[in-house]
Amino acid sequence: MKIYKFGGASVKDAAGIRNVYEVLQQAGYEDVLLVVSAMGKTTNALEVVIKNYFEKSRQLQESLQDVKKYHIEILLDLFDNGDHDVFADVNRHFSDMEYFLSHNKSPNYNFVYDQIVSYGELVSTVILSHYMNFRNIPTSWIDVRNFIKTDSTYRDANVDWDQTQKNISKNLKKKALNITQGFLGSDENNFTTTLGREGSDYTAAIFAYCLNAESVTIWKDVPGVMNADPRYFENATLLNQISYREAIELAFYGATVIHPKTLQPLQRKEIPLYVKSFLNPLLPGTSVSKGADLDPQLPCFIVKKDQLLISLSSIDFSFIMEENISEIFALLHKFKMKVHLIQNSAISFSVCADDKFGNFPELKTILSKKFKVSYNENVSLYTIRHFDDKATKIVESGKEVLVKQVSRETIQIVTL
């Protein structure tokens, strides 16, 4: 079986849905599992719904209607008959979401988040499945929550691999075109969980691992894996082939083409990964497979925006020792701060991190009891793999450099 993953950009409108049909016509769809994300910016729109729900905002109903209107307009573009079954199926999911919002008693933001954002993937896959059937490509729509089981770490759940393997081996239809949702799972109480933002790639890798798949293809709006994000760097170059190791390094440092957790399951079973363009599906794209000789011979640039640089120093000029660092990391873990760079000296310790859950104010209060805390918000973290002087100058030009860290193959630079 082959696994195809289509992200939100590929199904953002009716034209995108039609294009997925064309991609399948060219790439083939026999014995294929499609893993599909929410349409366009639906996850962002559902985050607004959640915000309005918790703030008891008068805009709650308006934000709900915006999400529904967006999807209904796509349906009206795709299907001539307003009585088509897809309308009832989509409306049923929206009714379920509204029922949850009106009956939920849990104050846990992360729990509510997972229950609500999941409807983006559920609705997008229902629409895609109905459209493929309408165009005479028979599909089997499956609810991924019945297959991928996780713990109850809402918004960043950990996979129960044993149970997931059993579910997929036993229940997935072979030789069919299966369509399922990326990003989602469920816990032991069958509440919806999510695997972290942009986790649909990881979903594809989970299914590939459990099915011993022939390959995984991630369909993107770019030609493949580039040595830099074209939005931020000129003259970005396509990497035709890279090794699992290099892809893991690039993903770890923040390359957005491949989700960080995607590579490990594929590497363990040496399942090839392809990153290809849904705009030009016959182009070769980038292949990721085993072999150190596949590593790129040119600098690779990665940038993470909106980072937080936290610098701690001892109040009494005492050394920051192992026990202090251990305590700091325990707090960073507790407050779900994703650390991307560490630098320390005798009396200071700095980290560059993501604060995607908005926990820094509370963390700062605790840290301030033992340390002098300095911080910079909205900094950029640049990472250059296989760097040289020219590449470093490109990043530093016109910017204030706050931190620079150099190793054999990689340089990281934090700038304002």
Percent of the chain exceeding pLDDT 90 equals 83
- Give the CATH number of the domain where residue 167 resides: 3.40.1160.10
Q: Tell me the pLDDT tens digit for each residue of 127-149.
A: 999 999 999 999 999 999 999 99
Are 311 and 212 within one domain?
A: no
Query: What's the pTM?
Result: 0.85
Residue 207 located in a structural domain: yes
Q: Which residue has the higher pLDDT, 211 or 357?
A: 211
Are 213 and 309 within one domain?
A: no
- Confidence check: pLDDT of 151 > 80: yes
Mean pLDDT of all residues in 1-12: 97
Q: Is 402 helix (H, G, I), strand (E, B) or coil?
A: strand
Binding-site residues for ATP sit at 231
Are 179 and 45 within one domain?
A: yes
Helices 42-54, 60-78: crossing angle, 10 deg rounding: 160
Average pLDDT, the chain: 94
Q: Distance between CA 270 and CA 16 in Å, rounded?
A: 31
Are 333 and 186 within one domain?
A: no
Are 88 and 206 within one domain?
A: yes
Q: Are 367 and 332 in contact (CB under 8 A)?
A: no
Mean pLDDT of all residues in 94-119: 97
Q: Are 158 and 98 in contact (CB under 8 A)?
A: no
Are 210 and 358 within one domain?
A: no
- Confidence check: pLDDT of 118 > 70: yes
Q: Tell me the pLDDT tens digit for each residue of 8-66.
A: 999 999 999 999 999 999 999 999 999 999 999 999 999 999 999 999 999 999 999 99
Show which of 220, 242, 264 is a domain's final residue.
Answer: 220
pLDDT bracket for residue 294 (50, 70, 90) = low
- Cα 67 → chain centroid: 21
Binding-site residues sit at 231
Q: Tell me the pLDDT tens digit for each residue of 391-402.
A: 999 999 999 999
Residue 209 structural domain: 2-220
- Inter-CA distances, 22 with 15, 19, 224, Å: 11, 5, 19
- Confidence check: pLDDT of 293 > 70: no
Q: Distance between CA 46 and CA 50 in Å, rounded?
A: 6
- Confidence check: pLDDT of 258 > 90: no
Are 304 and 162 within one domain?
A: no
Show which of 220, 243, 275 is a domain's final residue.
Answer: 220
Structure tokens at 197: 């933002």
pLDDT bracket for residue 315 (50, 70, 90) = confident
User: How much is the pLDDT for 175?
Assistant: 82
- Give the CATH number of the domain where residue 325 resides: 3.30.2130.10
Q: Are 382 and 395 in contact (CB under 8 A)?
A: yes
Beta partners for 380? 415
Residue 82 located in a structural domain: yes
Residue 131 located in a structural domain: yes
The secondary element (H helix, E strand) that includes residue 354 is strand 348-354
Residue 391 located in a structural domain: yes
Q: Distance between CA 56 and CA 96 in Å, rounded?
A: 19
DSSP structure class, residue 11: G
Q: Distance between CA 140 and CA 142 in Å, rounded?
A: 6
Residue 321 located in a structural domain: yes
Q: Are 69 and 38 in contact (CB under 8 A)?
A: no
* Spatial strand order in the sheet of 410-415: 338-344, 348-354, 300-314, 371-385, 410-415, 401-406
Alpha helices (H) in 135-193, listed in sequence order: 161-171
Q: Are 278 and 221 in contact (CB under 8 A)?
A: yes
Are 209 and 72 within one domain?
A: yes
Q: Is 316 helix (H, G, I), strand (E, B) or coil?
A: coil
User: How much is the pLDDT for 295?
Assistant: 67
- Confidence check: pLDDT of 161 > 70: yes
Show which of 201, 220, 239 is a domain's final residue.
Answer: 220
Q: Are 269 and 212 in contact (CB under 8 A)?
A: yes
Residue 230 located in a structural domain: no
- Confidence check: pLDDT of 278 > 90: yes
Beta partners for 4? 34, 217
Percent of the chain exceeding pLDDT 70 equals 99
Mean pLDDT of all residues in 316-336: 89
DSSP structure class, residue 34: E
Residue 203 located in a structural domain: yes
Structural domain tally of the chain?
2
- Confidence check: pLDDT of 192 > 90: yes
- Confidence check: pLDDT of 287 > 90: yes
Beta-strand ranges (E) seen in 202-345 are 215-220, 241-243, 273-277, 286-289, 300-314, 338-344
Are 205 and 341 within one domain?
A: no
Structure tokens at 211: 């099915």
Residue 267 located in a structural domain: no
